[in-house]
Structure 1
Amino acid sequence: MNTAKPSNAFIAASWFALLAGMAAFIIGLWNAQMALNEKGYYFTVLMYGLFSGISLQKSVRDQLEGIPVTGIYYGLSWFSTILAIALLTVGLWNATLLLSEKGFYAMAFLLSLFGAIAVQKNTRDAKTTAAPEAESTFHN
Protein backbone atom coordinates (compact mmCIF):
# COMPACT_ATOMS: atom_id res chain seq x y z
CA MET A 1 0.00 0.00 0.00
CA ASN A 2 1.43 3.34 -1.04
CA THR A 3 0.90 5.88 1.73
CA ALA A 4 1.83 9.54 1.75
CA LYS A 5 3.47 11.08 4.78
CA PRO A 6 0.88 12.99 6.79
CA SER A 7 1.19 16.77 6.76
CA ASN A 8 2.59 18.55 9.79
CA ALA A 9 -0.73 20.36 10.14
CA PHE A 10 -2.68 17.08 10.36
CA ILE A 11 -0.15 15.62 12.80
CA ALA A 12 -0.48 18.70 15.01
CA ALA A 13 -4.28 18.71 14.75
CA SER A 14 -4.42 15.03 15.68
CA TRP A 15 -2.24 15.49 18.75
CA PHE A 16 -4.25 18.56 19.71
CA ALA A 17 -7.52 16.62 19.42
CA LEU A 18 -6.16 13.78 21.54
CA LEU A 19 -4.69 16.00 24.26
CA ALA A 20 -7.60 18.48 24.32
CA GLY A 21 -10.19 15.69 24.54
CA MET A 22 -8.32 13.82 27.25
CA ALA A 23 -7.58 16.98 29.23
CA ALA A 24 -11.19 18.17 29.05
CA PHE A 25 -12.52 14.76 30.09
CA ILE A 26 -10.06 14.38 32.99
CA ILE A 27 -10.43 17.97 34.22
CA GLY A 28 -14.20 17.51 34.04
CA LEU A 29 -13.90 14.39 36.18
CA TRP A 30 -11.58 16.12 38.64
CA ASN A 31 -14.09 18.91 39.18
CA ALA A 32 -17.19 16.71 39.12
CA GLN A 33 -19.36 16.28 42.19
CA MET A 34 -19.50 12.49 42.04
CA ALA A 35 -18.17 9.61 44.11
CA LEU A 36 -14.57 8.56 43.57
CA ASN A 37 -15.63 5.12 42.31
CA GLU A 38 -17.81 6.81 39.66
CA LYS A 39 -14.90 8.99 38.58
CA GLY A 40 -12.79 5.83 38.36
CA TYR A 41 -15.40 4.18 36.16
CA TYR A 42 -15.42 7.05 33.65
CA PHE A 43 -11.62 7.29 33.66
CA THR A 44 -11.31 3.55 33.03
CA VAL A 45 -13.83 3.73 30.19
CA LEU A 46 -11.80 6.57 28.63
CA MET A 47 -8.54 4.62 28.81
CA TYR A 48 -10.20 1.42 27.55
CA GLY A 49 -11.80 3.34 24.70
CA LEU A 50 -8.51 4.89 23.61
CA PHE A 51 -6.70 1.56 23.69
CA SER A 52 -9.46 -0.28 21.84
CA GLY A 53 -9.75 2.45 19.21
CA ILE A 54 -6.03 2.31 18.48
CA SER A 55 -6.16 -1.48 18.37
CA LEU A 56 -9.08 -1.37 15.94
CA GLN A 57 -7.31 1.12 13.67
CA LYS A 58 -4.21 -1.06 13.64
CA SER A 59 -6.04 -4.28 12.85
CA VAL A 60 -8.10 -2.66 10.07
CA ARG A 61 -4.95 -1.11 8.60
CA ASP A 62 -3.05 -4.41 8.86
CA GLN A 63 -5.79 -6.18 6.92
CA LEU A 64 -5.80 -3.49 4.22
CA GLU A 65 -2.04 -3.87 3.83
CA GLY A 66 -2.20 -7.66 3.64
CA ILE A 67 -0.62 -8.22 7.06
CA PRO A 68 -2.18 -11.28 8.69
CA VAL A 69 -4.66 -10.49 11.45
CA THR A 70 -6.51 -13.29 13.20
CA GLY A 71 -10.27 -13.14 13.01
CA ILE A 72 -10.56 -13.30 16.78
CA TYR A 73 -8.30 -10.25 17.26
CA TYR A 74 -10.08 -8.32 14.53
CA GLY A 75 -13.45 -9.16 16.09
CA LEU A 76 -12.26 -8.33 19.60
CA SER A 77 -10.97 -4.97 18.39
CA TRP A 78 -14.39 -4.09 16.98
CA PHE A 79 -16.18 -5.48 20.03
CA SER A 80 -13.94 -3.58 22.46
CA THR A 81 -14.41 -0.27 20.69
CA ILE A 82 -18.18 -0.68 20.53
CA LEU A 83 -18.23 -1.86 24.16
CA ALA A 84 -16.28 1.19 25.37
CA ILE A 85 -18.73 3.51 23.62
CA ALA A 86 -21.67 1.51 24.99
CA LEU A 87 -20.26 1.58 28.54
CA LEU A 88 -19.88 5.35 28.39
CA THR A 89 -23.38 5.71 26.94
CA VAL A 90 -24.99 3.53 29.61
CA GLY A 91 -23.02 5.25 32.37
CA LEU A 92 -24.02 8.71 31.20
CA TRP A 93 -27.62 7.67 30.54
CA ASN A 94 -28.00 6.53 34.16
CA ALA A 95 -25.89 9.30 35.73
CA THR A 96 -27.47 12.04 37.80
CA LEU A 97 -25.73 14.74 35.80
CA LEU A 98 -27.11 17.71 33.93
CA LEU A 99 -27.75 17.03 30.25
CA SER A 100 -25.03 19.56 29.38
CA GLU A 101 -22.52 17.62 31.53
CA LYS A 102 -23.47 14.36 29.84
CA GLY A 103 -22.93 15.97 26.45
CA PHE A 104 -19.60 17.38 27.58
CA TYR A 105 -18.29 13.95 28.60
CA ALA A 106 -19.59 12.32 25.43
CA MET A 107 -17.97 14.93 23.16
CA ALA A 108 -14.67 14.91 25.07
CA PHE A 109 -14.62 11.10 24.83
CA LEU A 110 -15.30 11.09 21.09
CA LEU A 111 -12.71 13.83 20.48
CA SER A 112 -10.14 11.79 22.41
CA LEU A 113 -11.04 8.63 20.50
CA PHE A 114 -10.71 10.39 17.15
CA GLY A 115 -7.41 11.95 18.21
CA ALA A 116 -5.96 8.63 19.38
CA ILE A 117 -6.89 6.89 16.13
CA ALA A 118 -5.50 9.76 14.04
CA VAL A 119 -2.24 9.91 16.03
CA GLN A 120 -1.76 6.15 15.59
CA LYS A 121 -2.46 6.44 11.86
CA ASN A 122 -0.03 9.34 11.50
CA THR A 123 2.66 7.49 13.45
CA ARG A 124 2.29 4.46 11.22
CA ASP A 125 2.22 6.53 8.02
CA ALA A 126 5.33 8.45 9.09
CA LYS A 127 7.19 5.19 9.86
CA THR A 128 6.09 3.64 6.56
CA THR A 129 7.14 6.61 4.44
CA ALA A 130 10.38 7.23 6.37
CA ALA A 131 11.71 3.68 6.04
CA PRO A 132 9.90 1.62 3.37
CA GLU A 133 12.51 -1.13 3.61
CA ALA A 134 11.75 -1.59 7.32
CA GLU A 135 8.05 -2.09 6.58
CA SER A 136 8.32 -5.85 6.69
CA THR A 137 9.95 -5.89 10.12
CA PHE A 138 8.23 -3.05 11.99
CA HIS A 139 4.51 -2.48 12.23
CA ASN A 140 3.06 0.15 14.50
Structure 2
Amino acid sequence: MSEPKEVIFEKDEHENPKPEMKRVEGKPTSAFKGASWSALLIGVVAYLIGLYNATMELNEKGYYFALLVFGLYAAISLQKTVRDKEEGIPVTNIYYGVSWVAIIIVLILMAVGLYNAGSITLSEKGFYAMAYVLSIFAAITVQKNIRDSHRAREKE
Protein backbone atom coordinates (compact mmCIF):
# COMPACT_ATOMS: atom_id res chain seq x y z
CA MET A 1 0.00 0.00 0.00
CA SER A 2 1.25 3.46 -0.75
CA GLU A 3 1.71 6.11 1.91
CA PRO A 4 -1.14 8.62 2.22
CA LYS A 5 -0.24 11.93 0.64
CA GLU A 6 -0.37 15.09 2.70
CA VAL A 7 -2.75 17.64 1.29
CA ILE A 8 -1.87 21.28 1.88
CA PHE A 9 -4.53 23.92 1.36
CA GLU A 10 -3.38 27.39 0.56
CA LYS A 11 -5.32 30.28 1.99
CA ASP A 12 -6.83 32.61 -0.56
CA GLU A 13 -5.59 36.16 0.03
CA HIS A 14 -9.15 37.51 -0.35
CA GLU A 15 -10.61 35.08 2.17
CA ASN A 16 -11.49 36.60 5.51
CA PRO A 17 -10.28 34.51 8.40
CA LYS A 18 -13.09 33.32 10.63
CA PRO A 19 -12.94 34.64 14.17
CA GLU A 20 -11.99 31.98 16.67
CA MET A 21 -14.94 31.11 18.88
CA LYS A 22 -14.20 30.67 22.54
CA ARG A 23 -16.05 27.71 24.03
CA VAL A 24 -16.76 27.69 27.75
CA GLU A 25 -16.08 24.35 29.41
CA GLY A 26 -19.31 22.50 30.24
CA LYS A 27 -21.61 24.81 28.27
CA PRO A 28 -23.99 22.82 26.03
CA THR A 29 -24.01 23.71 22.36
CA SER A 30 -26.98 25.45 20.79
CA ALA A 31 -27.62 22.36 18.67
CA PHE A 32 -27.81 20.13 21.75
CA LYS A 33 -30.09 22.56 23.56
CA GLY A 34 -32.33 22.78 20.50
CA ALA A 35 -32.45 19.01 20.12
CA SER A 36 -33.34 18.63 23.81
CA TRP A 37 -36.17 21.16 23.66
CA SER A 38 -37.42 19.62 20.41
CA ALA A 39 -37.45 16.14 21.95
CA LEU A 40 -39.37 17.46 24.96
CA LEU A 41 -41.95 19.23 22.83
CA ILE A 42 -42.34 16.30 20.43
CA GLY A 43 -42.73 13.80 23.28
CA VAL A 44 -45.23 15.87 25.27
CA VAL A 45 -47.25 17.00 22.25
CA ALA A 46 -47.39 13.48 20.78
CA TYR A 47 -48.48 12.06 24.15
CA LEU A 48 -51.17 14.73 24.54
CA ILE A 49 -52.44 14.31 20.96
CA GLY A 50 -52.63 10.58 21.60
CA LEU A 51 -54.66 11.21 24.76
CA TYR A 52 -56.94 13.67 22.99
CA ASN A 53 -57.68 11.21 20.19
CA ALA A 54 -57.99 8.16 22.45
CA THR A 55 -61.34 6.44 22.83
CA MET A 56 -60.83 5.90 26.56
CA GLU A 57 -63.03 7.56 29.16
CA LEU A 58 -62.24 11.01 30.49
CA ASN A 59 -61.16 9.75 33.92
CA GLU A 60 -58.67 7.40 32.27
CA LYS A 61 -57.33 10.25 30.14
CA GLY A 62 -56.95 12.27 33.34
CA TYR A 63 -54.96 9.43 34.91
CA TYR A 64 -52.48 9.36 32.03
CA PHE A 65 -52.26 13.16 31.96
CA ALA A 66 -51.52 13.23 35.71
CA LEU A 67 -48.84 10.59 35.20
CA LEU A 68 -47.18 12.77 32.55
CA VAL A 69 -47.12 15.85 34.78
CA PHE A 70 -46.00 13.87 37.84
CA GLY A 71 -43.37 12.02 35.81
CA LEU A 72 -41.88 15.21 34.37
CA TYR A 73 -41.67 16.79 37.82
CA ALA A 74 -40.26 13.64 39.44
CA ALA A 75 -37.58 13.23 36.76
CA ILE A 76 -36.46 16.87 36.99
CA SER A 77 -36.43 16.73 40.78
CA LEU A 78 -34.37 13.55 40.80
CA GLN A 79 -31.89 14.95 38.28
CA LYS A 80 -31.46 18.07 40.38
CA THR A 81 -30.90 16.21 43.65
CA VAL A 82 -28.43 13.77 42.09
CA ARG A 83 -26.52 16.65 40.50
CA ASP A 84 -26.57 18.68 43.73
CA LYS A 85 -25.13 15.77 45.70
CA GLU A 86 -22.45 15.22 43.06
CA GLU A 87 -21.43 18.87 43.22
CA GLY A 88 -21.36 19.01 47.01
CA ILE A 89 -24.51 21.12 47.35
CA PRO A 90 -26.37 20.05 50.51
CA VAL A 91 -29.39 17.83 49.87
CA THR A 92 -31.35 16.26 52.69
CA ASN A 93 -31.51 12.48 52.59
CA ILE A 94 -35.28 12.60 52.92
CA TYR A 95 -35.69 14.72 49.76
CA TYR A 96 -33.15 12.61 47.91
CA GLY A 97 -35.08 9.48 48.89
CA VAL A 98 -38.46 10.99 48.05
CA SER A 99 -37.15 11.95 44.59
CA TRP A 100 -36.13 8.35 43.91
CA VAL A 101 -39.40 6.97 45.28
CA ALA A 102 -41.43 9.43 43.15
CA ILE A 103 -39.76 8.42 39.89
CA ILE A 104 -40.06 4.72 40.74
CA ILE A 105 -43.75 5.10 41.63
CA VAL A 106 -44.60 7.04 38.46
CA LEU A 107 -42.86 4.46 36.26
CA ILE A 108 -44.66 1.60 38.03
CA LEU A 109 -48.01 3.41 37.73
CA MET A 110 -47.46 3.94 34.00
CA ALA A 111 -46.43 0.32 33.44
CA VAL A 112 -49.39 -1.05 35.43
CA GLY A 113 -51.81 1.38 33.77
CA LEU A 114 -50.70 0.41 30.28
CA TYR A 115 -50.60 -3.31 31.11
CA ASN A 116 -54.17 -3.24 32.42
CA ALA A 117 -55.61 -0.86 29.81
CA GLY A 118 -58.16 -2.94 27.94
CA SER A 119 -59.52 -0.09 25.86
CA ILE A 120 -56.31 0.54 23.88
CA THR A 121 -54.44 -1.67 21.46
CA LEU A 122 -50.92 -2.98 21.95
CA SER A 123 -49.54 -0.50 19.41
CA GLU A 124 -51.18 2.39 21.29
CA LYS A 125 -49.64 1.12 24.53
CA GLY A 126 -46.24 1.16 22.86
CA PHE A 127 -46.87 4.66 21.54
CA TYR A 128 -47.76 5.99 25.00
CA ALA A 129 -44.78 4.25 26.59
CA MET A 130 -42.32 5.64 24.04
CA ALA A 131 -43.75 9.19 24.12
CA TYR A 132 -43.65 9.07 27.92
CA VAL A 133 -40.04 7.89 28.11
CA LEU A 134 -39.00 10.46 25.49
CA SER A 135 -40.71 13.23 27.46
CA ILE A 136 -39.10 12.25 30.76
CA PHE A 137 -35.63 11.86 29.27
CA ALA A 138 -35.93 15.16 27.41
CA ALA A 139 -37.12 16.96 30.55
CA ILE A 140 -34.02 15.74 32.39
CA THR A 141 -31.80 16.87 29.50
CA VAL A 142 -33.44 20.30 29.24
CA GLN A 143 -33.04 20.84 32.99
CA LYS A 144 -29.40 19.78 32.78
CA ASN A 145 -28.79 22.15 29.86
CA ILE A 146 -30.36 25.04 31.75
CA ARG A 147 -28.19 24.36 34.75
CA ASP A 148 -25.02 23.92 32.69
CA SER A 149 -25.73 27.13 30.76
CA HIS A 150 -26.26 29.03 34.00
CA ARG A 151 -23.01 27.70 35.43
CA ALA A 152 -21.12 28.57 32.22
CA ARG A 153 -22.47 32.16 32.36
CA GLU A 154 -21.13 32.43 35.90
CA LYS A 155 -17.65 31.35 34.68
CA GLU A 156 -17.52 33.96 31.91
Identity %: 59
Contact between 1:3 and 1:125, CA under 8 Å: does it hold in 2?
Answer: no
Question: TM-score with structure 2 length normalisation?
Answer: 0.82
Q: 1:131: Cα distance to partner?
A: 1.3
Which stretches in structure 1 are left out of the alignment for 5+ residues? 134-140
SS at match of 1:38: helix
**Equivalent residues in 2 for 1:10-49 (5 A)?**
10-49=32-71
- Number of residue pairs the alignment of both structures matches: 132
**Equivalent residues in 2 for 1:60-79 (5 A)?**
60-79=82-101
Q: 1:68: Cα distance to partner?
A: 0.4
2:154 is equivalent to residue 123 of structure 1: no
Which stretches in structure 2 are left out of the alignment for 5+ residues? 1-23
Question: TM-score with structure 1 length normalisation?
Answer: 0.91
Distance 1:63 1:14 in 2: 24
More helix as a share of residues: 1
- Superposed CA RMSD in Å reads 1.3
Contact between 1:14 and 1:119, CA under 8 Å: does it hold in 2?
Answer: yes
SS at match of 2:113: helix
Distance 1:115 1:3 in 2: 22
Tell which structure's C-alpha radius of gyration is larger. Answer: 2
